């Protein structure tokens, strides 16, 4: 199943610009002022309310004030949950992000009526400076058993291939770049340039500079039977690739994105998406600017069996 009706979201307590992640996240801008946390919390609450209004199940956990975790609002980088009852814990590039892996969060998910039968902890590779940042760096096509991964400091190719082998998915490896500071630099997470839904894929092909890699990705998408909806690099910079498809308790499907992303789309792109599902968008400007992540990054999908 490509989509779920349940997501885990972490309520921010000390949200702000993270200088550690900004080293290779070129979407971040330090726009902090006295009320950054307050505005981020307001955006978070409004986003949660929009999802719940559409009957999507949202499990929220408040971040801990005991540790400095300014990026905790993006849980999909450190944890994912599969249909077999497994929780995967991922190795994180930034040291202060490693503190986000809190066992009590998994307990909250269990208490919400889900079964976690096994925890697969990949985080040990942090000791070797090898990273694989969850569904930020990996885009899963669960229906077709494919995993797309753009190589960067936050996606180690060998670790990615090992994980794919363990879970029985075919890895689709490529390199993607963005123009930042006047240079072509690696995109930090695959999920800012690509989104795989049930019947379509939104992707910025202009970011895949190597022609043979670009052609291979297009071929895989077309062979998967999904419609390819292309976005420009400028739209990608507006978080138009950072989207996630969910369904609700009644089986209705939605594509989730930020208001910034939605406003960057053309009429034709919106129509192409709406052929398949309704769009839900929320104002996440404070979170996007300071955090360098958007709607998809805030959502950790829960595919676990229900108890």
- Strand ranges of the sheet holding 278-282, from the earlier edge strand across to the other edge: 244-247, 253-258, 278-282
Mean pLDDT of 19-29: 60
Mean pLDDT of 204-231: 98
| Residue 266, both tokens | 């053309």
Judged by DSSP in three states, 219 sits in helix
Mean pLDDT of 57-83: 95
Residue linked to tokens 């309520």: 11
Q: What is the pLDDT of residues 226-255, one digit of tens each?
A: 999 999 999 999 999 999 999 999 999 999
d(CA 161, CA 10): 29
Cα-to-chain-centroid distance, residue 169: 18
Q: What is the pLDDT of residues 105-121, one digit of tens each?
A: 999 999 999 999 999 99
pLDDT at 29: 65
Nearest 10 degrees: CA dihedral of 45, 47, 50, 56?
-100
The predicted model scores a pTM of 0.95
Q: What is the pLDDT of residues 164-202, one digit of tens each?
A: 999 999 999 999 999 988 899 999 999 999 999 999 999
* Residue 65, Cβ density class (10 Å: 0-12 exposed, 13-18 middle, ≥19 buried): exposed
Count of alpha carbons within 13 Å of 106, Cβ hemisphere only? 21
d(CA 108, CA 118): 15
DSSP 57-76: EEEEEEPPSSS--TTTT-GG
| Residue 41, both tokens | 């919390």
- Asked if 102 contacts 64 with a C-beta cutoff of 8 angstroms, the reply is yes
pLDDT at 120: 98
Spell out the CATH class of 6-301.
Answer: alpha beta
């Amino acid at each position: 199943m490509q989509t779920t009706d349940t997501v885990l979201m972490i309520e921010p307590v000390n949200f702000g610009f993270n200088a550690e992640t900004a080293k290779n996240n070129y979407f971040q801008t330090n726009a902090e002022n006295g009320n950054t946390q307050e505005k981020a919390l307001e955006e978070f609450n409004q986003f949660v309310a929009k999802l719940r209004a559409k009957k999507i199940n949202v499990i929220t956990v408040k971040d801990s004030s005991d540790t400095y975790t300014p990026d905790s609002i993006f849980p999909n980088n450190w944890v994912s949950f599969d249909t077999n009852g497994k929780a995967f814990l991922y190795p994180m590039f930034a040291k202060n992000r490693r503190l986000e892996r809190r066992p009590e969060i998994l307990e909250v998910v269990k208490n919400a009526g889900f079964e976690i039968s096994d925890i697969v902890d990949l985080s040990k590779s942090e000791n070797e400076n090898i990273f694989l940042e969850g569904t930020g760096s990996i885009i899963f096509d669960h229906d077709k058993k494919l995993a797309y991964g753009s190589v960067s400091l936050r996606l180690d190719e060998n670790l990615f291939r090992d994980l794919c082998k363990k879970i029985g998915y075919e890895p689709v490896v490529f390199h993607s770049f963005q123009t930042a500071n006047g240079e072509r630099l690696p995109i930090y997470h695959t999920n800012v340039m690509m989104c795989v839904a049930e019947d379509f894929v939104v992707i910025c092909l202009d970011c895949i500079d190597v022609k043979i890699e670009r052609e291979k990705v297009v071929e895989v998408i077309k062979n998967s039977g999904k419609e390819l909806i292309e976005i420009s690099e400028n739209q990608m910079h507006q978080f138009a690739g950072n989207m996630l498809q969910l369904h609700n308790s009644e089986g209705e499907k939605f594509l989730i994105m930020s208001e910034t992303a939605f406003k960057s789309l053309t009429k034709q792109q919106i129509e192409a998406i709406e052929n398949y599902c309704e769009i839900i968008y929320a104002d996440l400007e404070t979170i996007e600017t300071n955090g360098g992540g958007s709607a998809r990054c805030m959502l950790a999908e829960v595919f676990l069996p229900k108890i």
